[in-house]
């Protein structure tokens, strides 16, 4: 049996609008993978905002955004980000 811990690969990421965050911590408390933590920095309102502390654990499930009362954060799966980019490029071809 091997001692090696399997390497986790992130399936998604989160996008945070620090200036909108009021530091309620709902996103951090309800994250099923515990990948979020408070930043050491403050936003303009004087609140610590969430950051992706363990990006390898993020699944992009979006629960952080569902719990955020201020819509300051949302998660997306990488496959959905790529699909959105492809759709955008298809609808706005370069000339």
pLDDT at residue 28 tops 90: yes
CATH of the domain at 74: 3.30.70.20
How many structural domains is the chain composed of?
1
% the chain with pLDDT above 70: 89
* Residue partners of 78: CB distance under 8 A and separation at least 6: 10, 11, 12, 13, 60
* Residue partners of 54: CB distance under 8 A and separation at least 6: 33, 34, 35, 37
Name the band, by pLDDT with cuts 50, 70 and 90, for residue 90: confident
Cα–Cα distance for residue pair 37/25, rounded to 1 Å: 9
* Residue partners of 53: CB distance under 8 A and separation at least 6: 35, 36, 37
Q: If you average pLDDT over residues 7-34, what whole number do you get?
A: 94
Q: What range does the domain containing 75 cover?
A: 12-91
Residue of 7 and 61 predicted with greater confidence? 61
pLDDT at residue 3 tops 70: no
In a domain, 4, yes or no: no
pLDDT at residue 2 tops 60: no
Q: If you average pLDDT over residues 64-70, what whole number do you get?
A: 97
């Amino acid at each position: 049996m091997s001692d090696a811990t399997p390497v986790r690969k992130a399936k998604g990421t989160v996008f945070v609008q620090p200036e909108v965050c009021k530091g309620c911590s709902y996103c951090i408390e309800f994250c099923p993978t515990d990948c979020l933590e408070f930043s050491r920095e403050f936003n303009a309102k004087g609140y610590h905002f969430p950051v992706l502390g363990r990006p390898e654990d993020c699944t992009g499930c979006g629960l952080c955004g569902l719990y955020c009362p201020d819509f300051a954060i949302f998660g997306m799966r990488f496959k959905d980000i790529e699909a959105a980019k492809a759709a955008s490029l298809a609808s706005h071809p370069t000339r």
